[in-house]
Amino acid sequence: MKIALISLLGLISFTTFSQEETIVVVRQDDYRRKKKSTDRNVENYNAFKFDPFRMAIGEIGFSWEHRIEEKTTVEFELGPTISNLTNSGFHDQYNYGSSHSAMGVLVSAAVRYYPLEDYQAMNKLYISPKFKYRRFNQAYDVAINGTGLSEQMGYTNEYIFSFNLGFQQWLSNNFAFDYYIGAGIGSIQGKTYNYVYGDMGQYTWQSSPIRDAKFLGVIGMKVTIGN
């Protein structure tokens, strides 16, 4: 009787231990599967990108990243700019002057280095020096009959060098989000216009030059398609 009881208790203990061990193995498999899905190391050589949030400041930029070495890529960007997204007056006392949006251009070039030891280029953390040129055009006109003034085009040229820190996370082998933040300096040159009533009884355009240098912050998120 004692032998039978001891045998029964041993069988129950063995069964319980086996069940617990099986549960632990399943949890480990689930953990590994989840980690693999969120911790990708893709081998793409090209990525095409668009940053929707930069549209708020008048940039519509499309970029292409290309892998050139194991840890290094280059990125080029091209697209239009739109200045003065809404019509506005330009401070004449009778409110007869207005400026309107006009299309310009942006172009940039950058080098990216991905320093993490276990990841190839285009994956995870990167550092990137970047040069960007932006031109914003703006059209000026006067709502007064008989002035003889035609529409005048003003502009702003911006030359920007920045140093960026980013993180590119692939959600699948072909889709990623590229988050970045950085700081830089910009040289700004341009020309604005206002109209004046001259001594000869005629309206004329008067230009005002723009020359400035600024410290600039950079932040954004690019939707990325890779192959």
Residue with tokens 């207005």: 98
27 or 65: which leads in pLDDT: 65
CA-closest candidate to residue 68, choices 117, 108, 107, 122? 122
Arithmetic mean of pLDDT over the chain: 82
For the chain, percent of residues with pLDDT exceeding 70: 73
Query: In the predicted model, what is the mean pLDDT of residues 139-155?
Result: 77
**pLDDT grade for 21, boundaries at 50, 70 and 90:** very low
Answer for the pair 128, 111: CB distance below 8 angstroms, yes or no.
yes
Question: Which tokens sit at 166?
Answer: 């980013």
Vertex 109, ends 217 and 153: CA angle to 5°? Answer: 75
**Residue ranges covered by each domain of the chain:** 1-39, 43-226
CA-closest candidate to residue 121, choices 64, 65, 165? 65
From residue 89, alpha-carbon distances to 94, 139, 153, 157, 209 in Å are 10, 12, 15, 21, 18
Fold adopted by 43-226: Porin (2.40.160)
pLDDT at 97: 63
- The DSSP secondary-structure symbol of 82 reads B
pLDDT at 202: 77
Per-residue model confidence as pLDDT tens digits over 71-114: 999 999 999 999 876 444 444 544 556 677 889 999 999 999 99
What is the rounded CA–CA span in Å between residue 97 and residue 88? 9
* pTM, rounded to two decimals: 0.74
Per-residue model confidence as pLDDT tens digits over 33-43: 555 555 789 99
Of the given ranges (8-22, 82-96, 160-174, 184-198), which has the lowest mean pLDDT?
8-22
